[in-house]
Amino acid sequence: MGDREAAIQAAISDIDAGVFLSQRAAAKAYNIPQSTISTRIRGRQSNQASHVYQQRLTPEQEDFLVQWILEEDARAFPPSHARAREMANRILRMNGDHRPVGKHWMAAFLKRNPRVASVVGRKIEAARAEGATPVQISAFLELFERTRTRLGIRAEDIWNMDETGKALGVCANTRVLASSQKKKAYHQSPENREWASVIECVSATGKKLRCSVIFKGKSLQSTWFPAIIPEWLYTASENGWTSNAIGVEWLERVFLPETALLEDRWRMLILDGHGSHISLDFLWTCKKNKVYLLFLPAHASHILQPLDLSVFSVVKRFYRQQIQALSYLDDAAPVKKERFITAYYHARERAITKRVIREGWATAVGKALATANIRAAQLETENRRLYSQLEALKPQQPRKKVRVDPNQRFADVDTIMVAVQASQLLQAQRDVNAEEKAAERTAAETAAQTLQSMCTEWQL
C-alpha cells in the first residue's frame, strides 16, 4: 500500500470514528481531494484494487516475491531483473500458469511495490569484499540475531552445511622407522590423486545428517562401492565438487526430509556463498520450505563456520589414520573409491560426535564475539582520539583566581588549597560529562549487536 492510499484509508477511518465531523475537514487534514474520499466512501475501489484481476500475480504472491527480494538484498545477493522475473515465473508455474510474465511486467511490479526499487548494482573491490573485517562480522551477527528472533527459530533448527574435499589416500608427513644413517625416509603413499568431496551438515545442538559423497566422474559405477555400503547420498560430477543440480538434490533428499518438523516453523541453514548455494533453484527450494539461508561473509569460515572450526579437522585426523593403515596392507594397491568409503565411514563415526559438533559452534561464537569486540574497541579508541583533538582546539579555560586578603602580600596555604580543590572539582565534572557523551556515541554504534543473547543460543 502506497503512502497516498494509506492516507485515504486513515482519513476514512477517522471519519467513521468521529474524529472529523465532515469529509471536507478530513480531506484538508490529510491533503486529499474531498471528491476522492467521497467516492471511496460510496464504494469505489482504488486504481490498484480495481485492476487486481489484470495482474499476473495475486497481491499475496507479489508480497511473497517482495519478501524474497528483500531477504536476498539483506544477504548481499540482490537479484537482477532476470532472476526476479524467473522467480515470478516459478510462482506462476506452481499455480498451473506456464505463460511467462510480460515485457512490461517489471515496471508495473515496481510501481505497485514501492518497498523494492531498481538500483545500479556495483561490484566492490576484492580487497573490500573478501576480507573478514570486524564490521562484516558484526553485521553478520546482527543479521543472525535479528532473523532468529523475527522468525522464532529454535537452536535445534539452526544448521551449518559445508563441503570438504578429500584426495583419495593423501597422507601428511609422519614419523616412521628407518636407518639411523638417514635424516629422512620416504614411505609410499597409497594415493593415485583421485578426488572426492563430502557434504556435511550439523546442528547447533550437536546433531548430524547423512553425508553426501561426490566422486569425480560422469556417473556412478558399481565397482566403486565396497560390499557394505553406508546409507549416504552418492553422486558424481566432472570435477568431483558440487554443482547447482547436486546442491538441490542434497536439499531434497537429505536436508529437508531429515530436518522435517512436525510444527510449521522456520529452519535456518548457515553456509558459504558458493555458486551452487545461490542458484535460483536452491534459493527457491529453501524459500518454499521455510528454510532461511544465512550466508557467511566471504573468507570468514575460519571465524564463523562450526564445521571448519572443529569437525573437519577431527575427521581429517582420523581419516589419515585409516588410509595410513591401508598403505601398509598392500603396497601395490592404491586406495580406490571403495576404500575411501570404508576409511571415511570409520573416521566419521569416531570424529563427528555431539561433543565435537558443539565445540565447533562454541568456538565459532567465541571467535565471532572476539572479532566483533575488536570493532567496539576500535570505535572507543577513535572516539577518544577525536575527543582529544576537540579538547586541544578549545580555548584554554581561565583558572580560578586565588582570592587573598589585600593586607597580605601572598595567599596563605589554606586559601590556595581551597581554590585548587575547587578548580579540580570543576575539571572532574567536565571530564565526567565528556566521558558520558563518548560512551553514548559508542553505545549508539554498537546497540544493534545483541551478542550476549546470540552466545546463549549457540553455546548449548
pLDDT per residue as tens digits for the range 248-298: 999 999 999 999 988 889 999 999 877 777 788 888 889 889 999 998 887
Cell triple for residue 387?
A: 575527543
Which band of pLDDT confidence, cut at 50, 70 and 90, is reported for residue 451?
very low
Residue in the structure block whose three cell numbers are 593586607? 407
| Same domain? 204 vs 167 | yes
> What pTM was estimated for this model as a whole?
0.57
Rounded Cα gap, residues 75 and 279, in angstroms: 14
235-249, 262-276, 435-449 — which is least confidently predicted? 435-449
Structural domain that includes position 377: 130-171+189-460
Three-class SS state of 406 = coil
Strand partners, 161: 201
| Same domain? 70 vs 96 | yes
| Same domain? 96 vs 193 | no
| Same domain? 14 vs 77 | no
Which residue among 27, 50, 73 closes a domain?
A: 50
What mean pLDDT comes out for the span 435-452? Answer: 56
- Structural domain includes residue 231: yes
| Same domain? 5 vs 79 | no
| Same domain? 288 vs 340 | yes
- Structural domain includes residue 176: no
- Structural domain includes residue 183: no
- Structural domain includes residue 35: yes
- Structural domain includes residue 123: no
- Structural domain includes residue 310: yes
pLDDT value at position 129? 41
- Structural domain includes residue 372: yes
Number of domains in the chain: 3
434 touches 458 (CB < 8 A): no
pLDDT value at position 118? 77
| Same domain? 94 vs 72 | yes
| Same domain? 194 vs 308 | yes
Which band of pLDDT confidence, cut at 50, 70 and 90, is reported for residue 30?
confident
Which band of pLDDT confidence, cut at 50, 70 and 90, is reported for residue 326?
low
- Structural domain includes residue 155: yes
Q: Determine whether 205 is exposed, middle or buried from the number of CB atoms within 10 Å of its CB (0-12, 13-18, 19+).
A: middle
| Same domain? 219 vs 359 | yes
| Same domain? 32 vs 113 | no
| Same domain? 88 vs 134 | no
Rounded Cα gap, residues 268 and 203, in angstroms: 10
Indicate if the alpha-carbon torsion angle 169, 170, 176, 179 is positive or negative: positive
| Same domain? 365 vs 458 | yes
Residue 267 belongs to a domain with what CATH number? 3.30.420.10
pLDDT of 207 above 90: yes
Rounded Cα gap, residues 443 and 8, in angstroms: 40
pLDDT of 392 above 80: no
